[in-house]
Structure 1
Amino acid sequence: MTTGADARLAQRDLTLDLARVSCVLLVVVIHLLFVGVGHGPDGQLLIERTVEAQPWFAAATWLGDVMPLFFVVGGFAAMAGWRSLERRGGDADAFVRLRLVRLARPALPLLAFLALALVGAALLGVDPLLVDTVAIGIGSPLWFLAAYVLAQALAPAMIRLHERAPLRTLALLALAACLVDAARLGTGIPQLGMVNVVVVWVAVQQLGFWMHDGWFRQRSPWALAGIVLAGYALLLVLVPFAGYSPSMLSNQYPPTVPMLVLGAIQAAALTLLHRPLAALMETRPARAVVWLAGSRLMTIYLWHLPIIMVLTGLQLLLPLPLPEPGSSVWWATRIPMLLAVLGVVWLLSLWLVRYERSPSHLADPVHPGRAATVAAVLLFAIAPFLIMELGLDALLAGIGVVGTTAAIWLVRGGRARLVAP
């Protein structure tokens, strides 16, 4: 790692960068364990979500579902970024434009690739059922784009509310999340839960504001451990009593109150582990990994599932031996498969990393204006939201390309090349 990169990292709380990188890599591992493609004892092709069938899976998600931590760390970063931007004369529109482009630019090449691949599969006459199965799997993580951009777009307003009344703001958001869940569970209408795509993740993001203010850091280790234990005790009562799924992944979309509880647990646990994690980040190897992965984190998140599917497809076409999903041989192959996926993503990132850089002029407080910024957020969010609701297909991928391109054009004022590095 270069001295310049080392200096930039030294200005940050590196435990948060480590948490962010670790979370993304854990997502890659989990998705790799989901993709069970192989041959059964009778030689027939098997396609299954292998890890989900394990008896310990639901319990493991109480520890392994790190999505709330993404929003906690995102809230911390939003507070830090907002205050820095304010000191430099920026405003809320500038903040939202910067956050939007950091998501939209990396997403654009992926959406274009998916649209072309799905159209190509249709023209080649590939089995539609197989295409749908693969497309739904690839499209499943894209909900994060819609949820995260909406939470970040609301961050300036929510920071103001937090500064005026932090406890009241968080309590009202938690109450709203409870009411939405009660309406969804009570009526059996799942669409009502869509309101919590904003409410729950914005509430979890508030915990990041509390972390930035030092509230968690000011608690003793025993108090932080108490928050963790109390949070899990609450989940043990809340999940069966309210009728939530015992799998936290099922509570992730639409997000439910357990995600907010899990966010508090993870914020406290991260603070509790701050000292050993900070010591780890004093080592150059750890800093090198954080710098390398952190500079292309969106590329890793967005492209790992397509790469998993492509590598699996190559194994089928060559053909290479594919062990039965869930067998001991299959579990053993997950390690080399993980290394292969990360290696291919790294090769892709040599070109795609340019999309993770944001033009500096977006911090201009005058251009292009509030209406364009709001429209850009909605244009970008609509396709990931629809993909999660309806499943990925060529039409929705195409809508994503058009909406994302328009969003980038709007926030850049239509005056620069959309994909300029």
Structure 2
Amino acid sequence: MPTSESTRFGRITTTRPLVPASRDLVVDLIRVACMFAVVAVHLLMMGISVGPGGIGVENPLTSLSWFAQGTWFGQVMPLFFVVGGFASLTSWRSLQRKGGNAADYLRNRVLRLVRPTVALYAFLTIALWSATAAGVPGDLLSVIAAGAGVQLWFLAAYLICQTMVPVMARFHEAAPYRTVAGLAAGAAVVDVLRLGLERNPWGFDSNPIGLLNMVFVWGLLQQLGFFYADGIFDRIARWKLVIAAVASYLLMVPLTDAGPYPVDMLTSQNPPMFPLVLVGLAHVLLVKAAYPWLQRFVRLEWVRKVMLVVGSRAMTIYLWHLPLIIALFGIALVLHLPFPEPASAEWWLTRPLFYVAAWALVLLASTPLVRLELASTALAPGASRPGLWSVLTATALAVIPPFVVMRTALDAWNATWGLILLVLAVVLVNGRQNSRLLRKATVE
């Protein structure tokens, strides 16, 4: 019979888990916590004001004196790539044991990530063209569209990292530390070139060079997740983990306050810069130091329920939370609700209400949409298994739309052709239908 243990925080479930014993629930907890943090930060970055001059949009967080330094702790995307690396290596090894190959792995990743994105692009295409036809002012529509597409950079970066998994897993098995050193060296070289060219007298744009760090920085953080999967951090005493995390933060001081890097880690994100590696390393070290407490926390019944609801639709929530937050503010405007001055005391006091309302809207909208995320990736009856080059082509097609949005911001045109490319990517990895076998299966 099920048994449980009550604590001051809730009930700890001691029944046989519904997940495999080998699954690291702390990793699931981190992913869910990151999702709550991302929604909170994006909500707080939208300060809407209504005045005689019309609707204004600003980022109230930049007015906080401690905000830039706070991003060393609140910038969670590096940690997200670390736990993504853990999940990727675990999935890749499991697939290999079943006889799968790189094409199978990447095909599954493309379907899991791109199918939910197709729905978002379809919605954005219809919404943006409809708003244009309705005569929404171009300046306002540009701000709304750009805000609705801010999160799409992650799809491009994560797909690039996922493409690397089979090869980087092989490097990890052969020479794990040399692989990390090579990635770190590559990230440092790219930053040196980028920061050096920023000071050139010819007005040369160095950001395209920095884009190479989508491979080196995010790839290095993913590689740290491989070490997490191998249990390397478990072999280090907790006090040493804390000291190493503090050392990572201390190393950031001369790199930012006295060095060439910005203190604000959000501005170091696109293109990514080397200090993000130190942020991700510090975070994972602190997670492992707190691991016994986190393990106890994930045994609480209510925590597992939250993890199940949010974790099972994480990609859907991530893709849709910004458009839905914008929709929430639109509803408030239509209802003529008061909009306090951004960053004022009244504004801060009303943010928890907006946060709860945003999550309610996100969970409501994600309920039907999550089917795209959870749908089976198995080949349809009669479909042939796509080859590696077909899958790589599909991956490239899927990377292009969010990559362009990351570089130029979202608008109606790139939402439209982006939708077409994403649909083509899904079609390519679905495999070709064998008409003869399909007719035979239909007759039978």
Shared fold (TM-score, shorter chain, > 0.5): yes
1:151 aligns with 2:161: yes
Which of 364, 377, 388 aligns to 2:395? It is: 377
Identity %: 42
Whole-angstrom distance in 2 between the partners of 1:107 and 1:392: 14
1:52 aligns with 2:56: no
The 3 A distance-change label for structure 1 pair 272 and 111 is same
Q: Equivalent residue for 1:331?
A: 348
Deviation at 1:131, TM superposition (A): 0.8
Which of 404, 410, 413 aligns to 2:422? It is: 404
State whether residues 69 and 267 of structure 1, in contact with CA within 8 Å, keep that contact through their aligned partners in structure 2. Answer: yes
State whether residues 171 and 179 of structure 2, in contact with CA within 8 Å, keep that contact through their aligned partners in structure 1. Answer: yes
SS of structure 1 residue aligned to 2:56: strand
Q: TM-score, normalised by structure 1?
A: 0.94
**Deviation string, structure 1 residues 90-139 (Cα, Å, up to 9, x no partner):** 01111111111111011111111111111111111111111111111111
Deviation at 1:318, TM superposition (A): 2.1
Deviation at 1:16, TM superposition (A): 0.3
State whether residues 82 and 156 of structure 1, in contact with CA within 8 Å, keep that contact through their aligned partners in structure 2. Answer: yes
- Runs of at least 5 residues in structure 1 that lack an aligned partner in the other structure: 417-421
Deviation at 1:5, TM superposition (A): 11
Deviation at 1:3, TM superposition (A): 12
Deviation at 1:362, TM superposition (A): 5.2
Q: Equivalent residue for 2:212?
A: 195
Q: Equivalent residue for 1:117?
A: 127
Q: Equivalent residue for 2:9?
A: none
Which of 222, 228, 235 aligns to 1:218? It is: 235
State whether residues 32 and 338 of structure 1, in contact with CA within 8 Å, keep that contact through their aligned partners in structure 2. Answer: yes
SS of structure 2 residue aligned to 1:46: strand
Deviation at 1:9, TM superposition (A): 6.2
Q: Equivalent residue for 2:438?
A: none
Deviation at 1:52, TM superposition (A): 2.2
Deviation at 1:4, TM superposition (A): 12
**Deviation string, structure 1 residues 290-310 (Cα, Å, up to 9, x no partner):** 001111111111111111111
Residue 202 of structure 1 aligns to which amino acid in structure 2? G
SS of structure 1 residue aligned to 2:47: strand
After TM superposition, the structure 1 = structure 2 runs for residues 271-286 of structure 1, keeping only pairs within 5 Å, are 271-286=288-303
Q: Equivalent residue for 2:91?
A: 81
Which of 272, 297, 301 aligns to 1:255? It is: 272
Q: Equivalent residue for 2:48?
A: 37
Q: Equivalent residue for 1:357?
A: 374
Whole-angstrom distance in 1 between the partners of 2:379 and 2:170: 22
Residue 92 of structure 1 aligns to which amino acid in structure 2? A
Q: Equivalent residue for 1:19?
A: 30
**Deviation string, structure 1 residues 184-224 (Cα, Å, up to 9, x no partner):** 10011222101111211011100000111111111001111
Q: In angstroms, what is the RMSD of aligned CA positions?
A: 2.2
Q: Equivalent residue for 2:107?
A: 97
Residue 92 of structure 2 aligns to which amino acid in structure 1? W
Deviation at 1:333, TM superposition (A): 1.1
Q: Equivalent residue for 1:419?
A: none
The 3 A distance-change label for structure 1 pair 100 and 146 is same
1:293 aligns with 2:315: no
Whole-angstrom distance in 2 between the partners of 1:210 and 1:398: 40
SS of structure 1 residue aligned to 2:257: helix
**Deviation string, structure 1 residues 60-118 (Cα, Å, up to 9, x no partner):** 10100000011100100011101110111101111111111111011111111111111
1:388 aligns with 2:406: yes
SS of structure 1 residue aligned to 2:58: strand
State whether residues 106 and 163 of structure 2, in contact with CA within 8 Å, keep that contact through their aligned partners in structure 1. Answer: yes
Which of 243, 246, 252 aligns to 2:263? It is: 246
State whether residues 98 and 362 of structure 1, in contact with CA within 8 Å, keep that contact through their aligned partners in structure 2. Answer: no
1:182 aligns with 2:192: yes
Whole-angstrom distance in 1 between the partners of 2:208 and 2:393: 24
**Deviation string, structure 1 residues 337-363 (Cα, Å, up to 9, x no partner):** 111111111111221010111424259
State whether residues 134 and 309 of structure 1, in contact with CA within 8 Å, keep that contact through their aligned partners in structure 2. Answer: yes
State whether residues 384 and 431 of structure 2, in contact with CA within 8 Å, keep that contact through their aligned partners in structure 1. Answer: no
State whether residues 173 and 200 of structure 1, in contact with CA within 8 Å, keep that contact through their aligned partners in structure 2. Answer: yes
Q: Equivalent residue for 1:162?
A: 172
Deviation at 1:149, TM superposition (A): 0.7
Whose radius of gyration is greater, 1 or 2? 2
Whole-angstrom distance in 1 between the partners of 2:280 and 2:379: 31
Whole-angstrom distance in 2 between the partners of 1:158 and 1:396: 32
After TM superposition, the structure 1 = structure 2 runs for residues 62-81 of structure 1, keeping only pairs within 5 Å, are 62-81=72-91
Greater helix content: 1
Deviation at 1:140, TM superposition (A): 1.1
Residue 397 of structure 1 aligns to which amino acid in structure 2? A
- Runs of at least 5 residues in structure 2 that lack an aligned partner in the other structure: 1-12, 199-205, 435-444
Residue 57 of structure 1 aligns to which amino acid in structure 2? F
Residue 131 of structure 2 aligns to which amino acid in structure 1? A
SS of structure 1 residue aligned to 2:343: coil
SS of structure 2 residue aligned to 1:154: helix
Deviation at 1:316, TM superposition (A): 1.4
Q: TM-score, normalised by structure 2?
A: 0.89
Residue 197 of structure 1 aligns to which amino acid in structure 2? M
Residue 20 of structure 1 aligns to which amino acid in structure 2? R
The 3 A distance-change label for structure 1 pair 122 and 44 is closer
1:302 aligns with 2:313: no
Whole-angstrom distance in 2 between the partners of 1:249 and 1:415: 45
State whether residues 46 and 324 of structure 1, in contact with CA within 8 Å, keep that contact through their aligned partners in structure 2. Answer: no
Deviation at 1:374, TM superposition (A): 0.5
Q: How many residues align?
A: 414
SS of structure 1 residue aligned to 2:18: helix
